[in-house]
Amino acid sequence: MNTEFIIGLAGQAVYLMLEVSAPMLIFGLVVGLIISIFQATTQIQEQTLAFVPKIVAVLLALLLFGPWIVTKLVDFTSQILGNLYLYIG
C-alpha cells in the first residue's frame, strides 16, 4: 500500500459519505424550505415549528433509502477487505 492508494481510498470514503447522506439532506432541505415559505406567508415566527417536520422527513428518507445505503456501505467495505486480503496474501 502506497500513499496514492491511501489518498484514493480516503477520497472514495468521503465521496461515499456524501452520496449516502444526500437523500436525508435533500429531504430535510426541501421540508425546511416548505416550512419557511409557510412561515413567511402566514407570518408565524415560531422557531420550533420546523424541527419536527424535518426530523420526520429525515427519518422517512432513511426508511426509504436504507436498503440502498446499506448496500453501498457493504460494497465499499467488501472492496476494502478485498484489497486488504490482496495486500496481505
pLDDT averages per 10-residue partition of the chain, 89 residues:
86 96 96 92 84 93 96 95 79
Give the residue among 20, 13, 18 at the shortest CA–CA distance from 80.
13
Domain-by-domain residue ranges, the chain?
A: 3-88
- Residue 41's pLDDT is what? 92
The residues near 69 (Cβ < 8 Å, ≥ 6 apart) are 20, 23, 62
Residue 85, CB-side half-sphere exposure with 13 Å CA sphere: 6
- Residue 45's pLDDT is what? 81
- Residue 77's pLDDT is what? 95
- Mapped onto helix, strand or coil, the DSSP state of residue 45 is coil
- Residue 65's pLDDT is what? 97
Would you give the distance in Å from CA 63 to the centre of its chain?
12
pTM for the model: 0.80
- Residue 89's pLDDT is what? 63
